[in-house]
Amino acid sequence: MTRRRHREDGVAAVEFALIAPLFIALVFGIISYGYMLSFRQGMSQAAAEGARVFAVAPTVGVSTTGSLSTKDAAIAAINRSLSSYSVTCTAAGTLTRNGATVGTCSVPSTATACTNNAATKCVKVDLRYSYRANPLIPSFPGLGVVLPETLIYNTTVQVNS
């Protein structure tokens, strides 16, 4: 009996060594994908907030007192929504993270005719983030291929007259 037991002493360690990498990859994959989904929801909210701010305050205008233009107010709303991810929309139309360009951010300066009703004015806010090239958390080797290449969100709203 003791002889047999000595032969099986390392079995648990070998089984753990075989299973641990798969388990770690699974847990890290769940965390990575969950964080990406959270960011995806944040981008959706940011696009909606930027368009909403533009739509409800179309006459803000730039004045000598330093008030924000409608576009600047919309960009500020987008930045508030994305601030927890350290992502910023610039006036130049880029999304940046830690000083690097990671995507585009399109906020028009003025509202244009809506595509479904030319008598009304609409504004479209468009956000594009190159997620696979710029993940928010480090990617576990091999898991990057299951993450989306680009996250794209746009929102079109009718502007109050």
Asked if residue 104 has pLDDT above 90, the reply is yes
Q: Give the model's pLDDT for residue 56.
A: 84
pLDDT tens digits, 37-70 = 999 999 999 999 999 998 887 555 444 444 568 8
Nearest to 122 by CA among 71, 46, 51: 51
How would you class 130 by CB atoms within 10 Å of its CB: exposed for 0-12, middle for 13-18, buried for 19 or more?
middle
The Cα–Cα gap between 33 and 130 comes to 15
Name the DSSP letter for residue 160. P
Nearest to 37 by CA among 126, 127, 136, 121: 136
Mean pLDDT of the chain: 85
- Domain boundaries defined on the chain: 2-158
DSSP string, 22-73: HHHHHHHHHHHHHHHHHHHHHHHHHHHHHHHHHHH-TT----TT-PPPHHHH
Model confidence at 102, pLDDT cuts 50, 70, 90, reads very high
Asked if residue 9 has pLDDT above 90, the reply is no
The Cα–Cα gap between 32 and 90 comes to 26
